[in-house]
Every structure is written in C-alpha cells, then in structure tokens.
C-alpha cells in the first residue's frame, strides 16, 4: 500500500464514517503523522485522548499508549493498527517484579514512566512522561523514598534535576535510545561545533551531553534535554542554524516542519523504533476498514491505573 492521495482520502473518509479521531506519536512514519488529527508526545496525546468526544480513538503508536487512552476513556472503542507494536522499555519491568520491589520499600512512592503496562500502572502512585518527570518527582514529599521505573537514563536525569538522593531507579532501558551512545554524540558535537544539541532523556548519551557541557566542549546553553514535545517548542524558538538530534529518527519530520530553516541532523540515523514502524499505511487502512485491533484493559486494572495516570495529566498542566 502506497501512502498516496487515494490512501490519504480513504483514511480520512473512514475516520469520518467511524466518528473516530486518529492520534499519532512523533515517532510514526511521516505519512501516518500527516494523515492524523493530532501528532504529539506521550503526555499531549494522553490529554487529547482524555478530552476527545469522538466515539473511537485510533492510536498510531505503541501498545502502552493505546492502553493509556483506554484507561482514560473506558467507554470509548480504542483501536491500534497492530497490537503487536510493543515497547522494549515497557517490557523491562513486570507487575510481579514491581510487587517484589515495593515489598522491599513499603513506604515509598512509586513513580512509573508512562511506558509501562496497565498492570504496572495499577501498582503505581503517580505516572509521568519525559516532559513532566522532574515536576512529578519534585511534587513528592522530600522525606519519602521514591521508586522510579523503568528507565535508568530518565531516572538519572530526574535525580540530577531534583537533587534527591532517596530515589531508587530501576535498571530498564529502551533499546533504541540506549543505543544512541556518548561516543557518537561526542564525535558529532566535535564535527559540528556551532550546532545545538537536543537530547531525549531516555538516551544512553544524556549523561555525556551534560558532561560535554560541563567540560566546556559545548556551551551549556546549547545542550537541551527534552521530551519529543519539548524538542518541537525548542525548535520553534531556536536561533541555531543546525541542531543535532538524539532521539528516534521519526522525530525529524515534525522538527523539519516546525522550523524549515534549521538543519536538523540525527546523532544516530539508525535509531528507528521497530515497534512504532509496525504502524504501516496498510495496517492503518486495515484497522479502519475492519475495526481492529481493539485494545481491552480489564475494568479493575483500568480503575486502579486511572488514578495514577490522572495525577500525571494534572501535573505540569
Ligand atoms: P515522549 O514522546 O513522551 O518524549 O516519549 C518518547 C518515547 O520513547 C515514547 O515511546
Ligand atoms: Fe519503546 Fe523505545 Fe520504541 Fe519508545 S522508542 S516505543 S521507548 S522501544
């Protein structure tokens, strides 16, 4: 299936007939982003899903994102074009592992990144995304221990920003972002000394970016640790002519649209998420024609998970 004008028209027509809204994450293929009603980061898309008055939400993203939409809108039909689109970060902690960890720290506040399963969210006090993780942790009584999961690099960033030492961090990672390493970033920054750096906090190189700034290799103000939504705001405001981008490569499409005069270069051009890319033009068309794959979350799990997701949505609003 080619994402041509006929495909675009059929997708839009089916969305209208189903009274459905199509949400696409910033890492989706360019054609999927362009045909969507809304494109955004995890937090923005959760907020839109919670407020939507469509009958159906079609989520062009990975499974935990569609599950989060279902948790927030249990009465709506939530569809994902391919239910096999998982996430290596969400897979890095199970509900049983979290139960055991909580038993070790019974009084701790559990903060889970939104990249987790519904079962893990149901055992969580408050969820966060990369755009509000620092605010979420800063909102917690400084005397209480925090269990932060599952991403070790985002956890290290939050620990640095909040200056908290009673935060315990799970050793999970996203294989796509972990693979964007410090050596690559250092080499790219040295080759492009005038460029700004936009770095997603899930990256293996997030620490190196701050190190480069600390050592004066790159001026402090040129290094920005940002969520994908934060990168778009920064792109619109930047005075730089070139920006090196450390995140999944799908992000470049929205960045180039937001600031066409800026030269955005990936730090690692092989950093492509195989799960996000399972949402193909053919899969989207099949989803809208056949009404599948539908996302289900058990009602009791959803009710418990909803409390932690709603707290996340309220912070940084
Ligand atoms: P954000 O869009 O919230 O920055 O999340 C990045 C990500 O890896 C989602 O899978
Ligand atoms: Fe998960 Fe990483 Fe893919 Fe995001 S980029 S969906 S965190 S595997």
Q: Give the position, in ligand 1's atom list, of the atom nearest the Cα of 26.
A: 2
Q: How confident is the model at residue 316 (pLDDT cuts 50, 70, 90)?
A: low
68 CB within 6 A, ligand 1: no
User: From the CB of residue 273, how many other CB atoms can be counted at a distance below 10 Å?
Assistant: 22
Domains and CATH numbers, the chain: 5-85+276-296 (3.40.50.10800), 90-174 (3.40.50.10800), 180-266 (3.40.50.10800)
Q: In sequence order, what are the residues at sequence separation of 6 or more whose Cβ sits closer than 8 angstroms to the Cβ of residue 136?
A: 111, 126, 127, 128, 312, 315, 316
User: Does 228 belong to an annotated binding site?
Assistant: yes
User: Does 253 belong to an annotated binding site?
Assistant: no
| Residue of higher predicted confidence among 217 and 126 | 126
**Helices in 238-274 by DSSP H: which ranges?**
251-258
pLDDT in tens, 202-235: 998 887 777 777 777 788 888 999 999 999 999 9
Q: Given a cut of 70, is residue 2 above it in pLDDT?
A: yes
Pick from 157, 158, 202, 211: nearest CA to 183: 211
Q: Give the position, in ligand 2's atom list, of the atom nearest the Cα of 27.
A: 5
Q: How far apart are CA 228 and CA 238, in angstroms?
A: 15
Q: How confident is the model at residue 135 (pLDDT cuts 50, 70, 90)?
A: very high
Estimate to the nearest angstrom the gap between the alpha carbon of 58 and the chain centroid.
Answer: 17
Q: Give the position, in ligand 2's atom list, of the atom nearest the Cα of 61.
A: 6
User: Does 174 belong to an annotated binding site?
Assistant: yes
Q: How far apart are CA 214 and CA 314, in angstroms?
A: 34
Q: How far is the CA of 40 from the centre of ligand 1 (A)?
A: 9
The chain-wide mean pLDDT, for the chain, equals 94
| pLDDT confidence of residue 192 | 94
| Residue of higher predicted confidence among 145 and 190 | 145
Nearest residue CA, atom 6 of ligand 2? 87
Residues with CB under 6 A from ligand 2: 62, 87-89, 115, 174, 176-177, 248, 273, 275-276
Q: Any idea which of 97-106, 214-223, 237-246, 280-289 has the lowest mean pLDDT? A: 214-223
- Do 224 and 197 contact (CB within 8 A), yes or no? yes
């Amino acid at each position: 299936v080619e994402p041509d004008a006929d495909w675009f028209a059929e997708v839009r027509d089916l969305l209208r007939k189903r009274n459905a809204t199509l949400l696409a994450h910033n890492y989706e293929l360019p054609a999927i982003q362009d045909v969507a009603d809304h494109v955004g980061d995890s937090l923005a898309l959760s907020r839109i899903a919670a407020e939507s008055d469509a009958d159906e939400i079609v989520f062009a993203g990975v499974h935990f994102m569609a599950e989060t939409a279902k948790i927030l809108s249990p009465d709506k039909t939530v569809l994902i074009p391919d239910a096999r689109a998982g996430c290596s970060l969400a897979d890095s902690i199970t509900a049983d592992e979290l139960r055991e960890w909580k038993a070790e720290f019974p009084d701790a506040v559990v903060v889970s990144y939104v990249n987790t399963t519904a079962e893990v969210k149901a055992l969580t006090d408050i969820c966060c995304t990369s755009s509000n993780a620092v605010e979420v942790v800063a909102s917690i009584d400084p005397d209480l221990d925090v269990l932060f999961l599952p991403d070790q690099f985002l956890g290290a960033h939050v620990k640095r920003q909040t200056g908290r030492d009673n935060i315990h961090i799970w050793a999970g990672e996203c294989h796509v972002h972990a693979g964007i390493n410090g050596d690559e970033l250092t080499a790219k920054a040295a080759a492009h000394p005038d460029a700004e750096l936009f770095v997603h906090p899930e990256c293996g190189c997030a620490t190196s970016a701050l190190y480069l700034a600390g050592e004066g290799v790159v001026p402090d103000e040129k290094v920005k640790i940002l969520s994908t939504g934060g990168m778009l705001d920064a792109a619109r405001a930047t005075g730089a002519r070139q920006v090196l981008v450390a995140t999944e490569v799908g992000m470049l499409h929205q960045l180039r649209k937001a600031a066409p005069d800026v030269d955005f270069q990936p730090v690692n051009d092989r950093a492509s998420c195989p799960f996000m890319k399972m949402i193909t033009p053919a899969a989207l068309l099949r989803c809208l024609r056949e009404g599948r794959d539908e996302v289900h979350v058990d009602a009791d799990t959803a009710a418990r998970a909803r409390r932690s997701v709603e707290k996340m949505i309220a912070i940084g609003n």
